[in-house]
Structure 1
Amino acid sequence: MQARRKQLALALALALPGLAVAGPISDDVVKIGILTDMSGVYAGVGGKGSVIAAEMAIADFGGKVAGKPIQVVSADHQNKADIGAGKAREWFDTQGVDMINDLLNSGVGIAVQKLGAEKKRITINNGAGSTALTGKECSPYGIHYAYDTYALAKGTATALMKQGMDSWYFLQADYAFGQALQGDAAKIVQALGGKVAGTVKHPLSSTDFSSYLLQAQSSGAKVVGLANAGGDFVNAVKQAKEFGLKQTIVGLLVFDSDVKALGLNAAQGMKFTTAYSWELNPEMEAFGKKFFAKAGFMPTMDHAGVYSSTMHYLNAIKATGTDDADAVMKKMRETPVNDFFAKKGVIREDGRFVHDMYLVEVLKPSESKGQWDQLKLVATIPGEQAFKPLSASECALVKK
């Protein structure tokens, strides 16, 4: 009879390989999925760099946790929520993936976080920005790690308003991320006594911004705020320069890779908010150089967040001796993060990872000491000031 039960259990495990098997480590392996943009406008932000970051974290951890091997799988979601959710479902149901990381963009991030809640699997959003991830779409198994639209908008808009830049016109990417970023920035501008002259939406992966820039110019606003990212941001700035736009151009989400693509001549003097840049302190520099040796380019804050959050996840498994999602999430929430990316960083009940953010300025070409020397620190924004307070949260998990 006992042999028969073992045969039935084996048959069930073979038939349903995605089903978690009782025991400390399901399937005798910890499997991490990197779901990212490998071929589109955000490929330089995440892409292969996010896979490299996860692989570096695993190697630095020792390649095993709780005596079991750690594996990485990766896929290109093509910036389509249905493709991303489909791949995540396949990973959860048939490949035994325990955690999915990166998840730029916000449409993909929200869809996969919902699925993670359904499947009781951990999802860590590093590339996605929408505050909905820790608001109405929050999940007990979801973590929003590197940044969000509120922190970006608050840091940059507040700094510009202090300089008298009190009228804004927005170019907004027409999906969840752009809507959240524009909305957060507009609220902050208005709360500080500024004016929003208007907003125009553009499709993701736009190539021609001329009509949008013409509307921005006609608005008479002092600031043209770009509520987009990656290739869209780079193309919009380049075309604004070619168009001869006289207004101040502000990127509300800018990565090191974007500054590199633009060049210092085009980007000099631009201020923006970030969670990481290799120039900011010695620990960040050490990680940046180590990453560069593997990748051939400096990491973005997305890549840095993938590394840091993967290490935090693996340390939680080590501490608990299991990859059970509930046990691991509990330990991750209980344990502050102290590494190159964050000091005393904590995960709140809404899933928001709270850490310091940084207001930076792009160097003049004459100030740069090398091809990746692009930014200087203007101000450090404490985490409790950078991110939306829990008192304003729309997350159902937050007790008020």
Structure 2
Amino acid sequence: MSRLKGAAAALALMLAPHLAAAQLSDEVVRIGVLTDLSGPYADFAGPGSVLATRMAIEDHGGKVLGKPVEVVNGDHQNKPDVGGSLARRWIDTDRVDMIIDMPNSSVALAVQQVGRERNRIIINSSASTTELTGRQCSPVGFHWTSDSYALSSGTTRAVMQQGGKSWYYLTVDYEGGYALERGSEGVVKAEGGQSLGHARHPLNTSDFSSFLLQAQASKAQVVALANAGTDTINAIKQAGEFGLTKGGQRLVGMFVNVNDVKALGLQTAQGVVTVEAWYWDQSDETRAFARRFAERNRGTVPSQYQAGIYSAVRHYLKAVEAAGTDEATAVAAKMRALPVNDVFTKNGVVRADGRHVHDLYLVEVKKPAESTGPWDLYKVLATVPAAQAFKPLDAACPLVKP
């Protein structure tokens, strides 16, 4: 009898990995990177987001529950209908288990709705709207790296403390831009400042002359760029040509990334204050990760959003392991329960609304004389604690209990 019990126990141990693997929906876990591969957000997301996903899978061991992890990628073209359609096809036909990235808030909201309908994990890393964890939150939806509240409120407070009381906004004409503008205006008004208006520009604008003339005519002390990617780069370049800063107005970027600063050059971008969720030159660990990434990315270090994708994919794979299945509801529960500890952040927390909460960093672009290397672009002014960095839980989210 004892020999039979021992044999049964041994058999159970041998079968355990196979039983766990059998809880996968098929013989592979598939991750879809839905991003901007060729448009205005391709530098801080795009192909680098795909690389960050692959690196996360490799560093996890290439398998989960004994089965391989595969990656597919697609370009949403910054169109919600294209992003939503591709997400549906991936889920319905290609059996994709998780979709990540979505730079462009309108696309992100559309894809999160698809995930809610079809019970698939959706992780937004590069989108900014807080609606993802507000009224349109999802039981299987997550918002990872940063958001419009964190970006706009932190930057606005810092500039107001330095004397910037009147503001004018150059805002990209879709939800991501509106969210940045709303967040900043809320801080300006709460702290006794003035919002003198806004100019709305189309996505991927090459000529900002008319918008900058409106900003110049406003006489606002601060001209805030509620846009991103090449829109931010073009606006900053042309603002210099129009003499906004020489005339005493200060230019502030709400969604500035290391890629933007590199493209602009320190001579043009010096002194810009912004908030970053992650910077490559923070520690030996971040520098080592950045070197590995740059070796496979034509010498370019990861943006905060690409580092966030690496973190989110690692966390997702750990949650699948912990849940013993890739079923979205079970995995989502583990994602909310497990702490986040990796190269991106330490002791990060995933809230009930799906918001990943972690420290942020107030940074200033260095002067050319202060830089010691091609990617030595920022000096860190302060750490913004997680509790202050992100918007409190929103009662509009059905997942938030009173």
Provide the C-alpha distance between the structure 2 equivalents of 1:309 and 1:287, rounded to a whole number of angstroms. Answer: 15
Aligned residue number for residue 141 of structure 2 = 142
Aligned residue number for residue 272 of structure 2 = 270
Provide the C-alpha distance between the structure 2 equivalents of 1:394 and 1:265, rounded to a whole number of angstroms. Answer: 44
Matched, 1:375 2:378: yes
How far residue 251 of structure 1 moved from its aligned partner, in angstroms, is 0.1
Provide the C-alpha distance between the structure 2 equivalents of 1:346 and 1:193, rounded to a whole number of angstroms. Answer: 33
Matched, 1:210 2:212: no
Provide the C-alpha distance between the structure 1 equivalents of 2:97 and 2:22, rounded to a whole number of angstroms. Answer: 14
How far residue 287 of structure 1 moved from its aligned partner, in angstroms, is 1.5
* 8 Å CA contact retained: 2:395, 2:401: no
Matched, 1:341 2:340: no
One-letter code of the match for 1:170? Answer: Y
Provide the C-alpha distance between the structure 2 equivalents of 1:382 and 1:194, rounded to a whole number of angstroms. Answer: 24
Amino-acid identity (%): 54
Aligned match for 1:389, one of 385, 388, 392? 392
1:343 match: secondary structure: coil
- Give 5+ residue unaligned stretches, structure 1: 1-21
* 8 Å CA contact retained: 1:279, 1:376: no
One-letter code of the match for 2:355? Answer: R
Aligned residue number for residue 151 of structure 1 = 150
Q: What does 1:324-363 align with in structure 2 at a 5 Å threshold?
A: 324-363=327-366
Provide the C-alpha distance between the structure 2 equivalents of 1:122 and 1:54, rounded to a whole number of angstroms. Answer: 15
One-letter code of the match for 1:109? Answer: A
Q: TM-score, normalised by structure 1?
A: 0.93
Provide the C-alpha distance between the structure 2 equivalents of 1:146 and 1:394, rounded to a whole number of angstroms. Answer: 21
One-letter code of the match for 2:79? Answer: K
Aligned residue number for residue 315 of structure 1 = 318
One-letter code of the match for 2:164? Answer: M
How far residue 63 of structure 1 moved from its aligned partner, in angstroms, is 0.7
Matched, 1:193 2:196: no
Provide the C-alpha distance between the structure 2 equivalents of 1:265 and 1:143, rounded to a whole number of angstroms. Answer: 38
How far residue 356 of structure 1 moved from its aligned partner, in angstroms, is 0.5
How far residue 279 of structure 1 moved from its aligned partner, in angstroms, is 1.6
Aligned residue number for residue 294 of structure 1 = 296
How far residue 225 of structure 1 moved from its aligned partner, in angstroms, is 0.3
Aligned residue number for residue 242 of structure 2 = 243
Between stretches 206-215 and 281-290, larger displacement belongs to 281-290
Q: TM-score, normalised by structure 2?
A: 0.93
Between stretches 333-342 and 279-288, larger displacement belongs to 279-288
One-letter code of the match for 2:288? Answer: A
How far residue 283 of structure 1 moved from its aligned partner, in angstroms, is 2.3
How far residue 393 of structure 1 moved from its aligned partner, in angstroms, is 4.1
Cα deviation 1:286-309 (Å, max 9, x = unaligned): 221111111121110110011000
Provide the C-alpha distance between the structure 1 equivalents of 2:152 and 2:191, rounded to a whole number of angstroms. Answer: 13
Provide the C-alpha distance between the structure 2 equivalents of 1:184 and 1:78, rounded to a whole number of angstroms. Answer: 26
Aligned residue number for residue 9 of structure 2 = none
Provide the C-alpha distance between the structure 2 equivalents of 1:332 and 1:352, rounded to a whole number of angstroms. Answer: 11
* 8 Å CA contact retained: 2:167, 2:195: yes
Matched, 1:364 2:363: no
1:199 match: secondary structure: strand
Provide the C-alpha distance between the structure 2 equivalents of 1:335 and 1:212, rounded to a whole number of angstroms. Answer: 46
Aligned residue number for residue 8 of structure 1 = none
Provide the C-alpha distance between the structure 1 equivalents of 2:138 and 2:385, rounded to a whole number of angstroms. Answer: 25
Provide the C-alpha distance between the structure 1 equivalents of 2:398 and 2:214, rounded to a whole number of angstroms. Answer: 39
2:362 match: secondary structure: strand
One-letter code of the match for 1:81? Answer: P
Aligned-residue CA RMSD in angstroms? 1.0
One-letter code of the match for 1:359? Answer: L
Aligned residue number for residue 84 of structure 1 = 83
Across the two proteins, how many residue pairs are aligned to each other? 378
How far residue 394 of structure 1 moved from its aligned partner, in angstroms, is 2.1
Provide the C-alpha distance between the structure 1 equivalents of 2:103 and 2:308, rounded to a whole number of angstroms. Answer: 12
Provide the C-alpha distance between the structure 1 equivalents of 2:66 and 2:281, rounded to a whole number of angstroms. Answer: 37
Provide the C-alpha distance between the structure 1 equivalents of 2:156 and 2:284, rounded to a whole number of angstroms. Answer: 28
How far residue 351 of structure 1 moved from its aligned partner, in angstroms, is 1.0
Provide the C-alpha distance between the structure 1 equivalents of 2:283 and 2:189, rounded to a whole number of angstroms. Answer: 34
Provide the C-alpha distance between the structure 1 equivalents of 2:59 and 2:110, rounded to a whole number of angstroms. Answer: 31
* 8 Å CA contact retained: 2:348, 2:358: yes
